[in-house]
Structure 1
């Protein structure tokens, strides 16, 4: 039973003067990504596909070095496009993200519509799965589109109720053959309870 793991990058170094897609992992984020390597689910991964955003590729590279694999970068796996607003302070960002999920057919403040982001990420995952050789595969990306993908795979309507826990650095698992979500969000660096 091949499994797809969708992994979100952990904590980033926030800098309002740098475009969000160029943010890298913080020291805490790098430590959490390294701690992920000790988790039992990681050892079966034979393919790594990543968003092209720096924080995702840094997470994917930590995983790839450990597993001695290459990272395939797919540019269309990026986070929902928020370039119209750029950096928003956390309280304002959370309020706009609430609106993004609550109104999936509307562009909130110029952001990519949730339905479009969901179709894009689901399409990119399907393209990668179509060329998968039956191996376990890791997709490394972002919380917003990851949540949209989880909702699509589990047959649920778009809502923020399925959003990953704060801070990032989570993963969910999907049975590729059965087309079934095995489990929802779990921290990348701790054992399930």
Structure 2
């Protein structure tokens, strides 16, 4: 069984909405549609998604293309940043840097990175405890995805392992038994190459 963790692609940043309710942009939707129209996920038999709008808008077209239902796991949400809500991009990047650099601390009231990592790893563990006859696709977010990557790779929490700039839409591949990361983050389009 091959597992993949895919982050939602580009979004519409809307300060008037709670961040978990943000939607994919036209660019993000087009990237998802291209992936759904290809053969890259053909062996996927389960799609498991965060309950945030942008993740569901990524997972649903992929599931429909494969004739699958989306399994929604609300605890797969992005790190809880509700204490600050929307932050302008420069300020957000500074706080995110501190979030990864001090994983045992709550930065400006955000969920601690150590807690977010434990949460996403527990969700993946629970999901993969169920037998599966094919590949599994997890659809979520860059922050907790990076924390998951670090846990699976046996690396300390560090933003050095983040998906990088570009607005999301990246994927990494791993196996569960044995537990191993098979790839670094790569753009979702590379799955089709």
Structure-2-length-normalised TM-score: 0.96
Q: Is residue 60 of structure 1 aligned with residue 48 of structure 2? A: no
What's the Cα RMSD here? 1.3
**Aligned-pair CA distance for 1:192:** 8.2
The answer to whether the 8 A contact 1:39-1:190 is kept is no
Which residue of 2 is the match for residue 80 of structure 1?
79
Aligned equivalent of 2:182:
182
TM-score normalised over the length of structure 1? 0.96
Which digits, 9 at most, give the CA deviation of each residue in 1:6-52, with x for residues without a partner? Answer: 00000011100000000010000001111223554311110000000
Number of equivalenced pairs = 192
The aligned residue for residue 48 of structure 1 is 47
Q: Which aligned pairs between 1:24-173 and structure 2 lie closer than 5 A?
A: 24-38=23-37, 40-166=39-165, 167-173=167-173
Deviates more, 1:32-41 or 1:103-112: 32-41
- Gaps in structure 1 of 5+ consecutive residues: none
SS in 2 for 1:49: strand
Quote the offset at 1:152 in angstroms. Answer: 0.2
| Structure 2 gap ranges (5+) | none
* Residue in structure 2 matched with residue 7 of structure 1 by the alignment: 6
Conservation of the 8 A alpha-carbon contact between 2:36 and 2:65: yes
Provide the rounded CA distance (Å) in 2 between the counterparts of 1:49 and 1:125. 9
User: Is the Cα–Cα contact under 8 Å of residues 186 and 192 in structure 1 kept in the other structure?
Assistant: no
- Residue deviations 1:136-157 (CA, integer Å, cap 9, x gap): 1000000000000000000000
Deviations, residues 155-182 of structure 1 (Å, cap 9, x unaligned): 0000000000221000000022221111
Q: 1:68 to 1:124 in 2, by over 3 A?
A: same
Aligned-partner SS, 1:46:
strand
